[in-house]
A and B are shown apart, each in its own frame.
Chain A
Amino acid sequence: MSDVEVTPEAQPQLHGCPLSDSRGQTVVHPTRAQYVALMKKLLDGGYVMCSDLTATDYLTHSGRTLPEGIDAERFEIVVNLTAIATRDRIRIRVQVPESDPLIASLFDLWPGTEAMEREVFDMFGISFDGHPDLTRILMPEDWDGHPLRKDYSIGRIPVQFKGSNS
């Protein structure tokens, strides 16, 4: 990547956001404030396809490595972008605090994130500001809780034994 600047502290950055390497894959760590502006720049820079948008709940994780200056929060939005022309991929990880689970929607940049953001809303309870139709997508509308959160118990349906009618 040509526009990677190496700062004196040897912390590689892209558009002012720290970069890290995860098993050979490039990861950018913007703050929530930088998120949309960064995505806009990446879209203009050739990442025309938003392959994937998901989230992770780090509630019970034993500890992850994040670049300096990024404070770990409970939730993380993970976006995978693809550049068709350069055959390149990049991943964006944004920290979202538990106290305020809200992040800007990417709908205006990639309309294809519509269903993915709804899925994250449904499964993690993270709201997307500016999403046109933020409703549950996989669970029923009246469902309580967000199943992929780590504090959501798996639960069991008690087995019912019934006598046969014959």
Chain B
Amino acid sequence: MTSVENIFRTNEGAQEMRPRSEISAKEILREVGSVLRMSEAEVAKLGQMPAEADEDQTMIINMGPQHPSTHGVLRLMLELQGEKVLRCKPIIGYLHTGMEKTGEELTYMQGGTNVTRMDYLSPLNNELVFSMAVEKLLGIENDIPERAVWMRMLLSELNRMSSHLLFLASNGMDLGAVSMMLYGWREREEVLRFFQKVTGLRMNHNFIRPGGVAADLPPGWRDDVLTILEMLPGRLAEYDILMTDQPIWRERLQGVGVITADEALALGTSGPILRSTGVAWDLRRDQPYLHYDEVEFDVIVGSYGDAFDRYAIRINEIRESIRIVHQVLDAMPLGDYRIQNKKVTPPPRARIDESMEALIHHFKIFTEGFKVPEGEVYVAIESPRGEIGCYIVSDGGPKPYRIHMRAPSFVNIQALPHMMRGGLVADAVAVISSIDPVLGEVDR
């Protein structure tokens, strides 16, 4: 095969952004107008969108899929007029591995290993929403032992910290503050080390399972958490000196990638992107799950909806997570870490040695899985990136009939063309970074 044929074969054809000569001005205006909630005529009056830009003045270029600042295999097609971005189209699917289809072949017990690999920067939140959906179908969502619930909160908040720390690292790197990358990874490593101690793995834990969690906290866990909590505030203050208060950093982010509240809602975005526009919508507070209604924390909102607000929200959310974890440490009760419901919980290891029934029961649960009553539920929680939802349809068997994950990055990425329109191509990197997409979750 010649190289020319090779290029042709990797061409995505109709998915790509079409040149102006192939589409009508009406189509362009429709795309813009639907986002701004305006009629086509009103959009045309705005004048920001030259519907009749000359074809020979504009250029369509590819950014990605292999580009260091696209956070994975995100491909953007940008239509440029000089330095200015006129249109942008994200093209995704390069990491698609059919995880929803795979999920239909795995039992509810095995499902955690699948969903945890979607958003690989906040795996515990994926497991949590999956487990909560299964528990709701089983009707045991109110019977989860207290210790398991608080453990889930502890892990979920620590995961939020590690995810936001990685955002700070990559955001710094994308914008040229390369030393920030090292600091962010360094702090995140401390959190991952704790995860490794608790779950055995740094990522993709499969630790939160339907019915509770996989194991109890190891001895000395409280000191480990306290070490992290004591270390972080000082480090965050350093980041403020390094980035937040620094004029170059502010110049680079303020007023870049602006989106208004109405647009953010219309586009379905959630998480820091929605909150940066001033909409105080945080599922932890507004539709409380676990015991978030028993802890005190603030929902951080921005006011300008720009990349700087999104950065500031995330760095302050780490501080709020520290507050929450302190309260979790105080409230952590003793007790069971998983539900003692023989239907979903395998017998403890010690019982297997002495009881044949326990051995059979253990074997059955891990080979066939447990049956879940017929029905369908949608459960949503607040992941570091926004609303992560899990829709499961059960037909009464041991495997989900249909499992769908509402991935926050998948929806948030739709805001890219809108945020980039009219901006500079140099700011495109800042905008992508401020959305903080995880492509494993976008493509699933």
**Residues of A participating in the B interface, judged by any CB pair closer than 8 Å:** 22-23, 25, 48-52, 54, 56-57, 61-65, 78, 80, 82, 84, 87, 89, 91, 107-108, 110-116, 119, 123, 132, 135-142, 147-148, 154
Who on chain B is nearest to A115 by CB? Answer: B414
Does B266 count as interface, using CB distance less than 8 angstroms?
yes
Q: Which of B41-49, B343-351, B372-380 contacts A (4 or more CB under 8 A)?
A: B372-380
Distance in Å: Cβ of A120 to nearest Cβ of chain B: 10
Does B30 count as interface, using CB distance less than 8 angstroms?
yes
Is B374's CB under 8 angstroms from A64's CB? Answer: yes
Chain A residue contacts of B411, Cβ below 8 A: 112, 115-116
Chain B residue contacts of A154, Cβ below 8 A: 101, 105
**Residues of B participating in the A interface, judged by any CB pair closer than 8 Å:** 12-15, 27, 30-31, 34-35, 92-93, 96, 98, 100-101, 105, 136-137, 139, 265-270, 279, 281, 286-287, 374-378, 380, 387, 389, 391, 393, 395-396, 401-402, 404, 406, 410-411, 413-414, 443-444
**A122 CA / B378 CA spacing, docked (Å):** 22
Is B268's CB under 8 angstroms from A138's CB? Answer: no
- With A22-B376, A108-B34, A139-B96 in contact, do A51 and B14 touch (Cβ < 8 Å)? no
Distance in Å: Cβ of A135 to nearest Cβ of chain B: 5
6 shortest interchain CB distances as A-B pairs: A112-B268, A141-B13, A52-B406, A138-B93, A112-B267, A111-B34
Chain B residue contacts of A138, Cβ below 8 A: 92-93, 96, 443-444
Is B410's CB under 8 angstroms from A115's CB? Answer: yes
**A78 CA / B402 CA spacing, docked (Å):** 12
Is A111's CB under 8 angstroms from B13's CB? Answer: no
Is A107's CB under 8 angstroms from B101's CB? Answer: no
Instruction: Out of B105, B137, B268, B391, name the residue touching A50 (CB < 8 Å).
Output: B268
Chain B residue contacts of A52, Cβ below 8 A: 378, 389, 391, 404, 406
**A84 CA / B374 CA spacing, docked (Å):** 30
Is A80's CB under 8 angstroms from B391's CB? Answer: yes
Is A112's CB under 8 angstroms from B269's CB? Answer: yes
Instruction: Out of A51, A62, A107, name the residue touching B387 (CB < 8 Å).
Output: A51
Chain B residue contacts of A107, Cβ below 8 A: 34
Instruction: Out of B12, B266, B380, name the residue touching A110 (CB < 8 Å).
Output: B266
Chain A residue contacts of B268, Cβ below 8 A: 49-51, 110, 112-113
Q: List 28 A-B contacts (CB under 8 A).
A: A49-B265, A49-B268, A54-B404, A56-B393, A61-B395, A61-B401, A64-B376, A64-B395, A80-B389, A80-B391, A82-B387, A84-B265, A84-B281, A87-B286, A111-B34, A112-B269, A112-B411, A116-B410, A132-B27, A132-B30, A132-B31, A135-B15, A138-B444, A139-B96, A140-B93, A147-B98, A147-B101, A154-B101
**A49 CA / B380 CA spacing, docked (Å):** 14
**A56 CA / B400 CA spacing, docked (Å):** 12
Instruction: Out of B136, B287, B402, name the residue touching A23 (CB < 8 Å).
Output: B136
Chain B residue contacts of A51, Cβ below 8 A: 268, 270, 380, 387, 389, 406
**A129 CA / B391 CA spacing, docked (Å):** 24
Distance in Å: Cβ of B97 to nearest Cβ of chain A: 10
**A60 CA / B172 CA spacing, docked (Å):** 50
Distance in Å: Cβ of B332 to nearest Cβ of chain A: 28
Instruction: Out of A84, A87, A111, name the residue touching B266 (CB < 8 Å).
Output: A111
- With A108-B34, A112-B267, A114-B414 in contact, do A23 and B374 touch (Cβ < 8 Å)? no
Chain B residue contacts of A87, Cβ below 8 A: 286-287
**A132 CA / B14 CA spacing, docked (Å):** 12
14 further interface pairs, Cβ-Cβ under 8 Å (given A64-B395, A78-B391, A111-B34): A22-B377, A49-B268, A62-B374, A78-B376, A78-B404, A89-B378, A91-B378, A110-B268, A111-B267, A114-B414, A115-B413, A132-B31, A136-B15, A141-B12
Is A141's CB under 8 angstroms from B404's CB? Answer: no
Chain A residue contacts of B100, Cβ below 8 A: 123, 148
Is A112's CB under 8 angstroms from B96's CB? Answer: no
Is B93's CB under 8 angstroms from A135's CB? Answer: no
Is A23's CB under 8 angstroms from B139's CB? Answer: yes
**A141 CA / B8 CA spacing, docked (Å):** 12
Chain A residue contacts of B378, Cβ below 8 A: 25, 52, 78, 80, 89, 91
Instruction: Out of A49, A111, A136, name the residue touching B35 (CB < 8 Å).
Output: A111
Who on chain B is nearest to A118 by CB? Answer: B15
Chain B residue contacts of A50, Cβ below 8 A: 268
Chain A residue contacts of B406, Cβ below 8 A: 51-52, 54, 80
Instruction: Out of A23, A57, A80, name the residue touching B375 (CB < 8 Å).
Output: A23
**A98 CA / B35 CA spacing, docked (Å):** 32
Distance in Å: Cβ of B388 to nearest Cβ of chain A: 10
Most A C-beta atoms less than 10 A away, residue of B12, B13, B266, B281:
B266
Is A62's CB under 8 angstroms from B391's CB? Answer: no
Chain A residue contacts of B402, Cβ below 8 A: 56-57, 148
**A108 CA / B378 CA spacing, docked (Å):** 24
